[in-house]
Amino acid sequence: MAKHTVTLIPGDGIGPEITDAMRRVVEATGVDIAWEVVEAGADVMEKYGTPLPEHVIESVRKNAVAIKGPVTTPVGTGFRSVNVALRRALDLYVNLRPAFSIAGTGARYDDVDIVIVRENTEDLYAGVEFEEGKTETLELIEFVEAHGAGSIRRDSGISLKPISITGSERIVRYAFEYALANSRSKVTAVHKANILKYSDGLYLDVARRVAAEYEGRVEFEDRIVDATCMGLVMHPEDFDVLVLPNLYGDIVSDLAAGLVGGLGIAPGANIGTDAAVFEPVHGSAPKYTGKDMANPTAEILTAVLMLQHLGEREAADKILAGVRSVLAEGTKVTYDIRRTNTGSTDGAVGTQAYADAIIATF
Ligand code: NAP
C-alpha cells in the first residue's frame, strides 16, 4: 500500500495538462503517493446531474488530502462554483496563499516572502444577498430604518457581511500556529475596523485577544486594509504572515501574487480541520486548453505545499529547488515568463517540456 493516498481532481481547461505535469514532477521525486483520480466540473454535469458529485466529496473526506486543477465556472447558467461548493462542503476555512520571490520570473521585487491567510467561509462571500426590488429586500430596508440603524435607498441591492467570533478566532489562531510551525516572526491582522465597527471591529477585537496568547513568541500588529495595500507595494519586506477576512484576503492575495510574478506561479491551499484541498490561485484559462502552453509552476508549487502538509519535506524541497533552478536559468520557461522577461513569447517551451526540465534537475 502507498504511504499516502491523495484525491486528484484534474479540472478542465488547462487543468488536465498542468496537473499531469505536476503529477510527473511529484512522482519523479520518488515520494510514495497513490492518486485517486475523480472528475468534477461542467464535463461531468450530464452524467451525474451536478458539477460536484457526492463521490468526489467522499473521496476527499476519506483521503483528507486533495490536489486539484482549476474548474471553469460558466457565467450566468445557475451553475454553482465547484470550488466554493467544495470549500463549503468540507468547511475548509483557511485559504493559504504564500507569495515568495523566485529569480527569473521578471517580477518587480526579489525579496518578497509573504504568507496570506484568508478566511474562507464568511464575510461578503457568505452568499447572503437581497436582490433590488424584491419584497424581502424592501422589508429588510424597512427593518433597518425601524431599528434606527440607518437609511438605505429603496432601489438598493444588498449583500450582507457577517463576521463571527467563531470564524475570526479560528482563522487568527491558524495564522499564529502557522507562524510558530514555520518559524515566522510576525502576524499582521488586516481590517477596516475604523469604519466597519461591528464586523471588522469584532474581527480586530478577537485578533487582539488571540494575539495575547502568543505574546513573546510571535509579534503582532494590525493594519487598515487600504494602508496595507500601499505598504505591500512600497515595502513588501515589512510583511510576514497576514491574516484577513474573506474579501480583503481575496484582493490582497492577488496583489501579493502580482509582486512576485503573477498568476502563473501563485500556489494555494484550502485547509479545514478534517481535510485540505490544494489548488493554484489561477483559473482554467480556457483559451490555452490543449495547447501545451500554460505555465504549470503554480500547480507544481501547490504540490510543494501539499507535500509539506504530508510531512514530505525532502520531496517538497527538491521540487522547489528544481523550479528555482529552471526559472533562474531562463531558457526552458513557458510563454508567460518569456513574455515578461523579453517582451516576446519567442523561444518559450511548452508545459510538459518545462516539467521535464524540472525533473532533469533531480
Ligand atoms: P484565469 O483562468 O486565471 O486566466 C486569466 C489569465 O491569467 C490567462 O488568460 C493568462 O493570461 C493568465 N494565466 C492564468 N493561469 C495561467 C497559467 N497557468 N499559465 C500562464 N498564464 C496563466 O482567469 P479567468 O479567465 O478569469 O477564469 C477562467 C475560468 O476559471 C472561470 O470560469 C473562473 O470561474 C475559473 N476559475 C477557477 C478557479 C479554480 O478552479 N480554483 C480559480 C479562478 C477562476 P494571458 O492571457 O495574459 O496569457
Whole-angstrom distance, CA of residue 195 vs CA of residue 180: 31
Under DSSP, the state recorded for 52 is S
Mean pLDDT, rounded, for 105-130: 93
Q: Is the CB of 279 under 6 A from ligand 1?
A: yes
Q: How confident is the model at residue 79 (pLDDT cuts 50, 70, 90)?
A: low
Which pLDDT score is estimated for 76? Answer: 63
- Ligand 1 atom nearest to CA at 11: 40
**Residues of the chain above pLDDT 70, percent:** 99
With 80 as the cut, is the pLDDT of residue 80 above it?
Answer: no
Cβ pair 57, 90 in contact under 8 A? yes
Atom of ligand 1 nearest to the CA of 75: 32
Per-residue model confidence as pLDDT tens digits over 161-170: 999 999 999 9
Least confident of 66-75, 136-145, 291-300, 342-351: 66-75
* Residue corresponding to grid cell 477576512: 245
Mean pLDDT of the chain: 95
Among residues 12, 200, 240, 250, the one annotated as catalytic is 250
330-335 mean pLDDT: 96
For residue 78, name the pLDDT band (cuts at 50, 70, 90).
low
Instruction: Spell out the residues 6+ positions from residue 120 whose beta carbon is closer than 8 angstroms to its own.
Output: 87, 92, 93, 94, 95, 246, 270
Local structure of 117: helix, strand or coil: strand
CB burial of 102-129 (b: ≥16 within 10 Å; e: otherwise) equals bebbbbebeebebbbbbbbbbbbbbeee
Inter-residue contact 319 to 307 (CB < 8 Å):
yes
* Ligand 1 contact, 269 CB (< 6 A): no
Q: Which residues contact 132 (CB under 8 A, 6 or more apart)?
A: 155, 156, 157
Closest ligand 1 atom to residue 14 Cα is: 18
| pLDDT greater than 90 at residue 49 | no
Examine the pLDDT at 75 and tell me if it is beyond 80.
no
Q: Is the CB of 283 under 6 A from ligand 1?
A: yes
Task: Judge whether residue 179 has pLDDT over 80.
Answer: yes
Mean pLDDT of 343-353: 97
Closest by Cα among 323, 305, 324, 277 to 28? 323
Tell me the pLDDT band of 44, cut-offs 50, 70 and 90.
Answer: confident
Give pLDDT, residue 81: 81
Q: Using the predicted structure, report yes or no on whether residue 197 has a pLDDT greater than 80.
A: yes
Return the number of other C-beta atoms located less than 10 Å from residue 24's C-beta: 16
Interatomic CA distance for residues 192 and 203, integer angstroms? 10
